[in-house]
Structure 1
């Protein structure tokens, strides 16, 4: 039947799910692993996401009014709002601290100008927390575990003593069997987070009935920009061992095989990135079954369970304690790819 594999994050108890046999996905590898460890740009400050108050400003919307969103200076606020805003600031802050959903915080904040100013930091905090922690595996312990892995074959450095008891307590189950939480590995989308934690459609109806949709787009029309293209080449860093692989070295290897095509007509290394590089070093199993032509010890990855990120090369080269292992790592990757695409590397003889 063959061995099945899945990439797991030990620190977050997460996985991208089972991807099947190693030889079936390694050569058409999804980019979610590489994306998950790539350093993200600095998150904008509060004013860039949640608009600051402009005294006396009113929202103008063509269709539906937004009750209580802005109180004109000539209008008298309701007694309930007056009683609330007259409370000490620490008491109002205590109320906000018990609101865990972005929609709830917004509903309270748009009732008047005073609460909007008080609520802005709480709105920002929720957005920043969700946006910056949604899918990042930067600095976490990662490995690709095979379902033939026996607990006795897990290296000592992979699990803490507490994890070894929790994850491998049952002698009949393996690390592959542990119920890791499945994540999709998609990029952060602000429009998906408004009802995070809600399992009830009535909140979606309430959102529009109260006219808060206009408030959301007026004050919070913010979409995180795509990560800027790095000025310097990037490096894949192994934070546990203080080693790195240079993107420039990977590009040189890809250029070497630029003219070699697979049976599908594409370059055999055309789509290879740091995700594939990492996968050749983090697999862990007791059995070498990988459904690949390569017969090397890929199932005992030297980096299994280590911590990683992808950053600008300038952040690495300035520190002399880091060591460049590009040649060693890419030599292994080249051997794996040459084994898989050996038919494409054979030049047919020409007979006269």
Structure 2
């Protein structure tokens, strides 16, 4: 069958996708998912008044008119109303019994009171202090609740849209600053890249075993370890049930699906127009502006890689996303780790013990890096990385490897692949 690899954040016990053969992953686009989990988003600016919902669509005040009901208050007792009795006679079959009339009156009064409470809430809620509104928005866990409340008025739109943006920001760059490794399933127990774990952590991991069902067993804690239990390896941390799969978020699909969920809550088709705002449909360019220069950083070694050293053409660069060959391929190629060098690749055994295996990374803007790294020493390794990547691709695809990538990109551009990883917006 051959050796399988998975891209993993071992400390998080998370992995990308289902893995596969190293060459298929590296040359087939799997590595591009790394950009989505390593790129640190830039939170967009709050909406201006011009981007607020149309005032004709979203009222500034609730349109609900409270029903005219009497409110019972304490005070002097009043005389009961005069009851006029009709001429006594035989009760008809369709006449209501007194108890039924009383029950109907109680039900009507209860419904009217409920409407009055709702009306009172709708009139009181907007008049609360802004600080309370901020707290209420901050405590809404559901993105659908956030959106539905935000579109009720221009005032709530300004408050709520900020929280909507924060929600989508939280879905991005989840592996930034964490240790990354592309681990092979032939790795030996106890074979760890340097500096990934402390000596104490390695000792603890070496005492772990994996049961026949894949569950983790701690032999040092007196767990019932069966005879067929195997020592824990780094690969076990990347697969279920010990590890979990990290879902790569497609902003456009996720936000569109969320918007449709909100629209299904509408009881009236007239309210559907409240959700027709382009600001509620998110794209990569919303959080990763292509006007900025984005760089790959190795936070462990204080090294940076510029996009121009990786991209085959400048026009392939679109923020942190680079068509064809990008930052994801660089990280994957340099973080591979296995004890068995049989990977069916022509580039040699060096790729099996990556120089960056287990290091911490992020992808950020050059301006943000310059601001954060004042007084720190960083090394630009763009040329070294460019030569290494060229060597790997030439070994596998020959001297015309660049032309092969150009042709692949052209074919994708002509096809309907706007949501693919290669053509990130």
How far residue 108 of structure 1 moved from its aligned partner, in angstroms, is 5.4
Q: What does residue range 1-352 of structure 1 map to in structure 2 within 5 Å?
A: 1-10=1-10, 12-30=12-30, 31-45=32-46, 47=48, 51=52, 57-59=55-57, 71-72=62-63, 75-76=65-66, 79-84=116-121, 86=124, 99-107=140-148, 117=155, 121-122=159-160, 124-125=162-163, 127-136=164-173, 137-155=175-193, 157-159=195-197, 165=204, 169-170=208-209, 172=230, 173-178=232-237, 179=240, 180-189=243-252, 190-193=255-258, 207-211=265-269, 212-217=271-276, 221-224=280-283, 226=285, 227-230=288-291, 232=293, 234-250=294-310, 254=312, 271-313=324-366, 315-316=369-370, 321-342=377-398
How far residue 22 of structure 1 moved from its aligned partner, in angstroms, is 0.5
Q: Point out where structure 1 has 5 or more consecutive residues left out of the alignment.
A: 61-67, 196-202, 256-269, 346-352
Q: Using the alignment, how far apart are the partners of 1:38 and 1:141 within structure 2?
A: 14
How far residue 244 of structure 1 moved from its aligned partner, in angstroms, is 1.5
Preserved CA contact (<8 Å) 1:149 1:174:
yes
Preserved CA contact (<8 Å) 2:4 2:20:
yes
Q: 1:169 to 1:46 in 2, by over 3 A?
A: farther
Between structure 1 and structure 2, the one with the greater Rg is 2
How far residue 290 of structure 1 moved from its aligned partner, in angstroms, is 1.5
How far residue 15 of structure 1 moved from its aligned partner, in angstroms, is 2.1
Moved more, 139-148 or 89-98: 89-98
How far residue 49 of structure 1 moved from its aligned partner, in angstroms, is 11
Q: Using the alignment, how far apart are the partners of 2:36 and 2:196 within structure 1?
A: 23
Preserved CA contact (<8 Å) 1:3 1:21:
yes
The root-mean-square deviation of aligned C-alpha atoms, in Å, is 4.0
Q: Using the alignment, how far apart are the partners of 1:163 and 1:47 within structure 2?
A: 52
Preserved CA contact (<8 Å) 2:305 2:385:
yes
Q: Using the alignment, how far apart are the partners of 1:163 and 1:193 within structure 2?
A: 43
SS across alignment from 2:208? coil
Moved more, 276-285 or 207-216: 207-216
Q: Point out where structure 2 has 5 or more consecutive residues left out of the alignment.
A: 68-114, 211-229, 314-322, 402-425
- Residue by residue over 1:61-108, the C-alpha shift from the partner in whole angstroms, topping out at 9 and shown as x without a partner, is xxxxxxx995349x5585224543547657777766654212234555
Q: 1:16 to 1:284 in 2, by over 3 A?
A: same
How far residue 16 of structure 1 moved from its aligned partner, in angstroms, is 1.8
What TM-score, normalized to structure 2? 0.59
How far residue 146 of structure 1 moved from its aligned partner, in angstroms, is 0.9
What TM-score, normalized to structure 1? 0.69
How far residue 288 of structure 1 moved from its aligned partner, in angstroms, is 1.4
SS across alignment from 1:129? helix
Q: Using the alignment, how far apart are the partners of 2:167 and 2:151 within structure 1?
A: 21
How far residue 144 of structure 1 moved from its aligned partner, in angstroms, is 0.8
Q: Using the alignment, how far apart are the partners of 2:49 and 2:282 within structure 1?
A: 10
How far residue 240 of structure 1 moved from its aligned partner, in angstroms, is 1.5
Q: Using the alignment, how far apart are the partners of 1:47 and 1:192 within structure 2?
A: 25
SS across alignment from 1:236? strand
Preserved CA contact (<8 Å) 1:292 1:340:
yes
Q: Using the alignment, how far apart are the partners of 2:291 and 2:16 within structure 1?
A: 27
Q: Using the alignment, how far apart are the partners of 2:4 and 2:304 within structure 1?
A: 28
Count of aligned pairs: 306
SS across alignment from 1:306? coil
